[in-house]
Each structure stands twice: as C-alpha cells, then as structure tokens.
Amino acid sequence: MHLSPDEMIFWQYGFIKLNGTIVFTWGLMLVLVLGSKLITRKLSIDLQRSHWQNLLEIIVTTINGQIQDLGLAQPEKYLGFLGTLFLFVAAASLCTVIPGYEPPTGSLSTTAALALCVLVAVPLFGIEDQGLRGYLRSYIEPTVVMLPFHLISEVSRTLALAVRLFGNMMSGSMIIAILLTITPFLFPIVMTLLGLLTGMVQAYIFSILAGVYIAAATRVRQLEPPADPKTQQ
C-alpha cells in the first residue's frame, strides 16, 4: 500500500523519475485544459448559450466573486493563480471516484509545491502592488521587533498549507483503503462521499487562504485613509 503516489515509480533515470504524482497531475492538466479548450472553442456572446458554457461561466464568475469578497480590488488579476489553485485541488479530489486513481494532492510534494507557489506569489503580488520598498516595510510594522515574527509567520503558514491539504487528502485515501479491507460494501461509499466533500472544502480553504495572504500583502495601501483635502491645501 502506497502512503503517497510519489511511491508509484513508472520510470526513473537517476534523479529524474516519473512517479504517480506527476502522471496523475498531467492527466488532470490534460482534462482541465482540453475541457476548457473544447468548451471555449465556440463561445457565444448572445443571450442563448450552451450548458457547458453556462457551467464554466458560473464557475469563473463565482471564483471571481469570491476573490472580490476577499477585498481584492482587481479580481481578474488574481483569477489565474487562485482559480487554478481551486480548480486543480477540486479536480484532484473529485477524480477520487475513479478506480485506481490517486489524487496528486495526496502527495506532500505536490502540496509543498503548491504552498511554495503561494509563498512566492504573495510577495510578488505585494511588490507589484506596493513596490519593493513598501512591501518590505510591511515586515517591520508596526515595529522592527515584529520582523522575526513576520518571517516565522510566512514559513509556518506555508507549512500549514502544505501539511493541511496533504493530511486531509492522504487521510481520506488511507481511510477508504483501510475501510475497504474491513467493511467492503456500504461504508466505503459513504466515506468516499465524505471524502469528496472534504476535498471540495480543502480546495476552497486552500485557495481562500492563498487569497487572504495575497490580500493581506496588497491591502495595506488600499486601507490607507485618503489624504485630507484641508491639510493638502
């Protein structure tokens, strides 16, 4: 029994290897991209449109609305990163209903990679929004004493992201696998349904947390009170 799809090695050449995580990820990528490509190939701008286009529009506009609710002023700018995070994690969880499939998010390598992406993306968006000096100044606010705590917070929350997602996904797969050996009929189905719900919740949590971190990094300037016109005069 595999604890992680990383252990499913299909091909290896020294340091380079092709394991189950990468293969399943490619499969998910293929499904997501091909599905998007097929559906968006004939987009209609009329009031009449296909069901698939309606579905995609609902998904995209909902994600956009959630990002906006986080307090980000231009949600389209963050839609690519946060939306893809959600869709990738959600698709990885939904596909657990396919026999023989193991979610790539059940691998700590994948969740660590995603958390690292968040770790890098947050300062990038922050610097883009506030500039390098402004972003770095946020680490020493309100006092310089807070700098180590900010740094620890950055590392710990990245670790928490990776481990939370990995633990939930891995445990779900593990529990189902164990239950299959004990009560092979009804109970694993219920647990699979619960696993689907857990996967969706985790996808939502992961992307929302990433959005919150980005919002925290970019919000400083947005929350600054407007200059008083009287003092300017």
Partner 1 sequence: MLIDWFTVGAQTLNFLILVWLMKRFLYQPILHAIAAREKRITDELAAAAAKKAEATQERDTYQRKNAEFDQQRAEMLDKATEDAKAERQRLIAEAHTAIDAMRATHEIALNREQKNLHEEIARYTQREVFAIARKTLGDLAGISLEARICEVFTHRLGTLDAATKQVLAAAVGSSRPVLVRSAFELSAEQRAAILQALQVALAADVHLNFADAPDLISGIELSTAGQKLAWSIADYLASLDEHINAWLKDNIPTEATTSTQATIDSAT
In the complex, least distance from residue 40 CB atom to partner 1, rounded to whole angstroms: 4
DSSP per residue over 126-145, as a string?
Answer: HHHHH-HHHHHHGGG-S-GG
- Separation CA 13–CA 17 (nearest Å): 6
In the complex, least distance from residue 37 CB atom to partner 1, rounded to whole angstroms: 5
In the complex, least distance from residue 196 CB atom to partner 1, rounded to whole angstroms: 21
Q: Is the dihedral of CA 97, 98, 99, 103 positive or negative?
A: negative
When the beta carbons of 166 and 213 are compared against partner 1, the nearer one is: 166
Virtual torsion, Cα 192, 197, 202, 203, nearest 10 deg = 100
- The structure tokens listed for 29 are 């990528």
- The structure tokens listed for 28 are 């998910």
In the complex, least distance from residue 205 CB atom to partner 1, rounded to whole angstroms: 17
In the complex, least distance from residue 160 CB atom to partner 1, rounded to whole angstroms: 15
In the complex, least distance from residue 229 CB atom to partner 1, rounded to whole angstroms: 34
- The structure tokens listed for 4 are 């992680």
When the beta carbons of 112 and 217 are compared against partner 1, the nearer one is: 112
User: CA-based angle 61:82:97, to the nearest 5?
Assistant: 85
In total, the chain counts a number of residues equal to 233
CB contact set of 211 (below 8 Å; sequence gap of 6+)? 66, 67, 70, 72, 78, 82
When the beta carbons of 83 and 188 are compared against partner 1, the nearer one is: 83
When the beta carbons of 15 and 185 are compared against partner 1, the nearer one is: 15
When the beta carbons of 27 and 71 are compared against partner 1, the nearer one is: 27
When the beta carbons of 5 and 126 are compared against partner 1, the nearer one is: 5
The per-residue b/e assignment along 192-204, b for 16 or more CB within 10 angstroms, e otherwise, is beebbebbeebbe
- Separation CA 47–CA 57 (nearest Å): 13
Q: Which residues make up the interface to partner 1 (CB under 8 A)?
A: 3-4, 6, 15-17, 19, 21-22, 25-26, 29, 32-33, 36-37, 40, 43-47, 53, 56-57, 60-61, 76, 79-81, 83-84, 87-88, 104, 107-110, 112-114, 116-117, 166
